[in-house]
Amino acid sequence: MKAAVIVFPGSNCDRDVAVALEASLGAKPYMVWHRDTELPAVDLIVVPGGFSYGDYLRCGAMAAHSPIMREVKARADQGARVLGICNGFQIITEAGLLPGVLMRNAQLKFICKDVYLRVENDRTDFCRYYRSGDVVRYPIAHAEGNYFVEPHTFREMEDNGQIAFRYCDKNGRVAPEFNPNGSLGNVAGVYNSKFNVLGLMPHPERLAEDLLGGSDGKLMFDSLVEALS
């Protein structure tokens, strides 16, 4: 598997995700500057977290129009896997790779903590090392993770298995009190209809090493390496 990480001005999890990818893959990903117009031949494109362009407009709205994003969309259309984490989720959603929008957290504050997530669909390249119903712990760190989409689209997404993760308690119970940002249906991450694009607010790369407090996130990168190698 070959991977690329897109770097925007204001990206700040680009190094973190590169470290996690390298640990699972055994090779460094390409780091691609946002003004580039071409991508190397890769199987996986990661759009990392951060504050692209300071997020002074709507989060991700500026980055979605960076030159490289045309190429990312073209590759996604051709079937490359695209993983958008946190600000990356906001960017690929703004770019139209995923349905929906990410709004200000319901409690209006930036929040950084570990959360529990229930894996909703294990039949994807991102989650093949998990089982549906598994509870995993990933950190969140965002102020705009309140996912919303039109109700009829949401029902279709649920029926298609496009919900990737939902916020829950450590026993897997999904309820509003375990939802850190007010997202529709406790959604933490969603797939596109072809399951080659995943966007999620929590950061798998931040708990991919026991020394840092856990390694649930490592399984996502291991899954991708297994699927794409």
Partner 1 sequence: MSQITPDVIAQHGIKPDEYKLILEIMGREPNLTELGIFSVMWSEHCSYKSSKKWLKTLPTKAPWVICGPGENAGIIDIGDGDAVVFKMESHNHPSFIEPYQGAATGVGGILRDVFTMGARPIANMNALRFGDPSHPKTRHLVAGVVAGIGGYGNCVGVPTVGGETNFHSSYNGNILVNAMTVGLARKDNIFYSAAAGIGNPVVYFGSKTGRDGIHGATMASAEFDEKSEEKRPTVQVGDPFTEKLLIEACLELMATDVIVAIQDMGAAGLTSSSFEMASKGGLGVELDLDAVPMREQGMSAYEIMLSESQERMLMILKPGKEDVAKAIMDKWELDFAVIGTLTDTGRMVLKRHGEIVADLPIDPLAQASPEYDRPWVSPAKQPVVDAKTIEAVCPVEALKTMLACPDLASKRWIYQQYDHMVMGDTVQRPGGDAAVVRIHGSNKAVAITTDCTPRYCQADPHEGGRQAVAEAYRNLSATGAVPLAVTDNLNFGNPEKPEIMGQIVEAIKGMGEACRDLDFPVVSGNVSLYNETQGTAIQPTPAIGAVGLLDDVSKHMTVAFKKTGSNIVLLGETKGWLGASLYLREICGREEGAPPPVALHRERRKGELVRQLIHDGQVLACHDVSDGGLLVAVAEMSMASASRIGAALEAPSTLPLHAWCFGEDQGRYVLEVSDDELVAVLEAAKEREVGARVIGKTGGHVISVGGRAVAVDELKAANEGWLPAFMGAEMSGH
Active site residues: 86, 203, 205
Q: Which is it for the CA torsion 48, 140, 81, 155, positive or negative?
A: negative
Taking residues 63 to 102 in sequence order and writing x for each that binds partner 1 by CB under 8 A, - otherwise, the string is: ----------------------------------------
Q: Is residue 13 at the binding interface for partner 1, with CB under 8 A as the rule?
A: yes
Does an H or E element contain 72, and which? helix 67-77
> Looking at 31, 39, 106, 111, which residue binds partner 1 (CB under 8 A)?
111
Segment contacting partner 1 by CB under 8 A, of 68-76, 106-114, 148-156, 171-179: 106-114
Q: Which is nearer to partner 1, 9 or 161 (CB)?
A: 9
> Looking at 16, 71, 120, 216, which residue binds partner 1 (CB under 8 A)?
16
With vertex at residue 107, the alpha carbon angle to CA 9 and CA 55, rounded to the nearest 5 degrees, is 15
Report how far apart, in Å, the C-alpha atoms of 11 and of each of 89, 110, 113, 188, 227 are.
Answer: 12, 17, 20, 20, 27
Residue indicated by tokens 């026993």: 171
Q: Which is nearer to partner 1, 12 or 121 (CB)?
A: 12
Q: Is residue 28 at the binding interface for partner 1, with CB under 8 A as the rule?
A: no
- Give residue 34's region: left, alpha or beta (phi > 0; psi -120 to 50): alpha
Does an H or E element contain 90, and which? helix 87-94
Residues of this chain that bind partner 1 (CB under 8 A): 9-10, 12-13, 15-16, 19-20, 49-51, 53-56, 109-113, 139, 141, 203, 205-206, 209, 211-213
